């Protein structure tokens, strides 16, 4: 660091970094500040491992930056949920912060997110960010706005700070704030009709003299959320005429995927740099250099290159979110391999592609389990998929097991009363589920369920059959998105990974003679449009019936409500949309909804 240099206001600053904001009211020029952004992938609860991630990032930028910024709650991972209520956990987190401060390079300032019991009254805890420097915790700020909607439940655990102040660091006032603090006044969350209920933390910081706005986040991925997020941050930068640093968590934790995509904005709201989506990365930005200067964005290490995000289509983002979410769930839960049924249909095909990218094709084990109703192309298509991906695939016909059930007198009587009826169809699905679970138990592989959001929504799925497993890969993909991503997989590979016949043939569960999905369901384009209205947009039947036949809309709405009990028993999946089945959508099961 160069020491502050006294200058006369109005004269040129040294090193061609002249800027009126860099000369304080007593005429002291503040040296340049290089800030490193590190989007990290923590494991929830792993205080020592997550501290190690921060130390590694700090060593990588030592001597190249004055300040390193890490994500929200990075020391405990996000979301920690009821771990925060476990006796001693938050106190151990506070101790981990103290220990981390002593282990970091003394000359480097590091901002880390963590839960804390310090400085919080009433026996509560806070969602906090601490600035570590010189072996000590030199400042801690607490989160002001606590999200309590969709997947967020922070008011269950934390007490919010009423006000916030900038933190002094090396002659600069840092406006450190935490995730939701920058989402005021997002019209979807904070309303103009309640202007006194919520403070604006960013305005508080700017009014108190902040010179740099720094937001640390654990902001989960949703389709098109990046654009919305950047616009909100740019609005703050422009409103206050201040540069803004945004650092986001990356990685999958349970049903959430964090996309990273950290960025730096200039005071005019323009994008200085953005880190890649869906991968851990870091970069150093010289906030005092002009954006077009060659050294304004630097690599985070001597051997690295400055990571910059590329623009990708919607299908690319969704596929990468699925890959990261599944891969991290498998690894963080201690598995190495996965097993799933390969039916020759499009859902299991796409699920297998995601799994192959997530853990490697040699760790994906497919079971082809044809029944008496399966078509020849189902096995051949599944075989071609397995060969294209390089999967371990095995043929296990289920007719012998099916016949053994039928030979059991009581079961035979029930099945004979309705041949190929619902009980027999579900029996086949459950036989297949049992086969998958045998392999899972015997080899320690996680079983993957392959149902999509459209089918799960209306109950076109079988409990303890195709719904069984440890993770539901496609549970937040409508059927039309399954088709779009399958076509994307082939376009991305430049070859036929998913056989075209799988994509083009009419979808069928093949649990009865000549069975096709549209015998039971509306055409998927119609069904998906209605489901999007009901679930993601939360529209009424009347509103949706303006564009679709009322009888179809009413049928779909009743099926969605009636099958909540099934979805409550499904494995976790990956949230991609604003309203996914899982922790963010809480509907009653025993209900009569008018």
Instruction: Supply the residues annotated as catalytic.
Output: 72, 143, 179
Torsion angle of C-alpha atoms 227, 292, 309, 315, degrees rounded to 10: 50
Q: Which residues contact 98 (CB under 8 A, 6 or more apart)?
A: 137
539 CB contacts (<8 Å, ≥6 apart)? 533
Closest by alpha carbon to 439, among 473, 392, 401?
392
State residue 29 phi and psi, 5-degree precision: -80, 130
Q: According to DSSP H, which parts of 514-588 are helical?
A: 524-531, 541-544, 550-562, 564-568
C-alpha to C-alpha distance for 366 and 349, rounded to whole angstroms: 10
- Dist. CA 344–CA 346, nearest whole Å: 7
Whether a cis peptide bond, with omega within 30° of 0, leads into 119 is no
Q: What are phi and psi of 275, to 5 degrees?
A: -80, 160
Q: Which residues pair with 34 in a beta bridge?
A: 286
438 burial (CB, 10 Å; 0-12 / 13-18 / 19+) is middle
Longest dimension (CA), the chain: 99
Q: In which residue are the tokens 């151990």 written?
A: 92
* Distance in angstroms (rounded) separating the CA atoms of residues 513 and 524: 21
How many angstroms separate the CA atoms of 172 and 34, rounded?
12
Q: Which two tokens stand for residue 16?
A: 């061609």
Neighbouring C-beta atoms of residue 294, cutoff 10 Å: 7
């Amino acid at each position: 660091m160069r020491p502050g240099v006294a200058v006369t206001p109005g004269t040129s600053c040294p090193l061609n970094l002249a800027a009126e904001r860099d000369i304080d009211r007593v005429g002291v020029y503040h040296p340049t500040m290089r800030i490193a952004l590190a989007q990290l992938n923590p494991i929830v609860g792993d205080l020592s491992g997550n501290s190690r991630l921060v130390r590694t990032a700090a060593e990588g930028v030592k001597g190249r930056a004055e300040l390193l910024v890490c994500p929200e709650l990075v020391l405990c991972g996000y979301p920690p949920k009821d771990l925060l209520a476990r006796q001693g956990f938050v106190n151990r987190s506070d101790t981990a912060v103290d220990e981390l401060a002593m282990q970091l390079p003394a000359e480097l300032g590091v901002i880390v997110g963590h839960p804390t019991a310090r400085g919080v009254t009433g026996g509560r805890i806070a969602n906090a960010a601490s600035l570590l420097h010189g072996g000590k915790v030199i400042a801690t700020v607490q989160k002001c706005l606590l999200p309590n909607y969709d997947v967020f439940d922070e008011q269950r655990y934390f007490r919010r700070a009423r006000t916030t102040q900038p933190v002094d660091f090396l002659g600069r006032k840092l406006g450190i704030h935490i995730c939701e603090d920058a989402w005021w006044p997002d019209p979807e969350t904070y309303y103009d009709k309640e202007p006194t209920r919520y403070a604006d933390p960013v305005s508080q910081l700017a009014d108190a003299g902040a010179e740099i706005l720094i937001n640390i986040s654990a902001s989960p991925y949703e389709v098109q959320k990046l654009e919305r997020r950047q616009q909100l941050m740019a609005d703050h930068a422009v409103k206050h005429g201040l540069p803004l640093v945004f650092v986001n968590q990356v990685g999958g934790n349970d049903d959430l995927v964090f996309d990273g995509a950290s960025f730096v904005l200039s005071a005019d709201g323009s994008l200085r740099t953005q880190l890649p989506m869906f991968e851990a990365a870091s970069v150093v930005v010289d906030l005092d250099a002009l954006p077009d200067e060659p050294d304004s964005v630097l690599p985070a290490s001597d051997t690295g290159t400055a990571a910059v995000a590329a623009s990708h289509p919607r299908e690319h983002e969704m596929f990468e979110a699925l890959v990261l979410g599944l891969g991290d769930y498998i690894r963080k839960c201690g598995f190495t391999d996965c097993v799933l049924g390969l039916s020759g249909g499009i859902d299991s095909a796409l699920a297998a592609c995601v799994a192959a990218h997530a853990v490697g094709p040699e760790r994906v084990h497919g079971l082809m389990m044809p029944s008496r109703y399966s078509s020849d192309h189902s096995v051949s298509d599944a075989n071609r998929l397995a060969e294209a991906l390089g999967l371990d695939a095995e043929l296990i016909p289920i007719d012998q097991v099916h016949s053994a059930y039928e030979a059991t007198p009581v079961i035979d009587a029930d099945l004979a009363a309705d041949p190929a009826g619902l009980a027999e169809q579900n029996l086949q699905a459950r036989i297949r589920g049992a086969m998958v679970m045998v392999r899972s138990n015997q080899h320690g592989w996680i079983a993957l369920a392959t149902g999509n959001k459209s089918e799960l929504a209306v109950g076109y799925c079988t409990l303890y059959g195709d719904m069984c497993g440890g993770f539901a890969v496609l549970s937040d993909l409508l059927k039309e998105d399954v088709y779009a991503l399958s076509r994307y997989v082939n376009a991305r590979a430049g070859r036929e990974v998913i056989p075209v016949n799988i994509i083009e043939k009419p979808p069928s569960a093949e649990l009865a003679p000549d069975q096709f999905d549209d015998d039971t369901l509306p055409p998927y384009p119609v069904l998906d449009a209605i489901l999007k209205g009901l679930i993601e947009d939360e529209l009424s039947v009347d509103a949706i019936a303006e564009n679709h036949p009322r009888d179809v809309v009413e049928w779909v709405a009743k099926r969605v409500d009636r099958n909540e009990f099934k979805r409550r028993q499904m494995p976790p999946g990956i949230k991609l949309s604003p309203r996914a089945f899982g922790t963010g959508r809480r509907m009653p099961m025993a209900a009569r909804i008018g």
